[in-house]
Amino acid sequence: MNEAVDPSAVDLSVRMTAPSGPLTLTHPVLPASGTFGYGEEFEPFLPPGTFSAIVPKSISVEQRPGNPPPRAIETPAGLLNSIGLQNPGLDLFVSDYLPRLQRYGVPILVNVVGKSIEDYCQVVETLEGRDLVLGYELNVSCPNVKEGLRFGLDPDATGALISAVREKTGGVIMAKLTPNVTDIAEHAVAAQQAGADAVSMINTIRAMAVDWRKGKSRIGTETGGLSGPAIRPVALRMVWEAAQAVDIPVCAIGGISNAEHILEFVSVGASMVQVGTHLYREPTCLISILSELRELLAQEGYSSLESLRGSFGSAPDRLPESSRPVG
């Protein structure tokens, strides 16, 4: 183990590059879209600007009522949801919700969803150049709406969408990828080649919960999206595969609830993370997570988060005895 360093000196910053220039985040933790709303819900618990950037709930051109209730049910190790991308629509977002988000004083990566490429482009064109809107997370992977699956399951369709949006913005484009594919690396490569500056993964895993007595789903649709601790091992594997295939930052999502989880994802190549389902359980978790991140890195002699990134498999002498391969 390397010599320990002062935790207060550990650099947690994350850097991304877009055509408009570099973007530096003070630390790697963002809220996952859909679990954070538009910030107001978090104000009683902690300043929303404590996150290094904000990824608000998805925005589409038109207002969406979402899927029928019930929309969520707990599972033994997570949450099954079928919200259906309910949102106020672009006009109301610009007039009512965006000004509140701007007051938090940190970069905003607007999560965008649409039924067509033109829809995505219209949202981006409308928001382009507005204060603190420094980029977009393109939701091409929601398992609860048909268009999300259509874009997310076809790397060529993902690439065509990103290419079209790339022409509309010089800001960060982050493509949110689905785990419901055979080869996540193929989709990450397609996103990079089309002009994405980062990829985020994974979105929820398509799943079910049924009441066998009533013979129907326990949520308002037949299937929904599974999130939480149950999907973390799957997300870890997919982040590792994608990070080996692309040169752009990978933002990890999936069952993250503490600093150890973040460092696991960083070690396999992630540059940053999004915390989602855990925010329902512990909305104030970010303060302790950031403190623990610095402590853990300092104990192992890392002066920065970036110096750990991608270390998995490269330094077996640093692994504890129980983690070393046998034979």
List the CATH number of the domain containing 157.
3.20.20.70
In a domain, 221, yes or no: yes
Q: What is the pLDDT of residue 147?
A: 54
Contact indicator for 226, 78 with CB cutoff of 8 Å: yes
Pseudo-torsion of CA 270, 271, 272, 277, nearest 10°? 0
If one counts the domains in the chain, the total is 1
In a domain, 125, yes or no: yes
Please list, residue by residue across 49-65, b when 16 or more beta carbons sit within 10 angstroms of its beta carbon and e when fewer do.
ebbbbbbbbbbbbeebe
Q: What is the pLDDT of residue 142?
A: 59
In a domain, 44, yes or no: yes
Give the pLDDT band (50/70/90) at residue 3. Answer: confident
Q: What is the pLDDT of residue 140?
A: 87
Q: What's the mean per-residue pLDDT of the chain?
A: 92
In a domain, 131, yes or no: yes
Q: What is the pLDDT of residue 150?
A: 66
pLDDT of 143 over the 90 cut: no
pLDDT of 263 over the 90 cut: yes
pLDDT of 202 over the 60 cut: yes
Domain of residue 86, residue span? 7-314
In a domain, 146, yes or no: yes
| pLDDT tens digit sequence for 241-258 | 999 999 999 999 999 999
Give catalytic residues, as residue numbers. 142
For the residues 43-65, what does the mean pLDDT come to? 96
In a domain, 321, yes or no: no
Give the side-chain half-sphere CA count within 13 A for 268. Answer: 18
| pLDDT tens digit sequence for 270-315 | 999 999 999 999 999 999 999 999 999 999 999 999 999 999 987 5
| pLDDT tens digit sequence for 63-99 | 999 999 999 999 999 999 999 899 999 999 999 999 9
In a domain, 322, yes or no: no
| pLDDT tens digit sequence for 91-140 | 999 999 999 999 999 999 999 999 899 999 999 999 999 999 999 999 98
In a domain, 326, yes or no: no
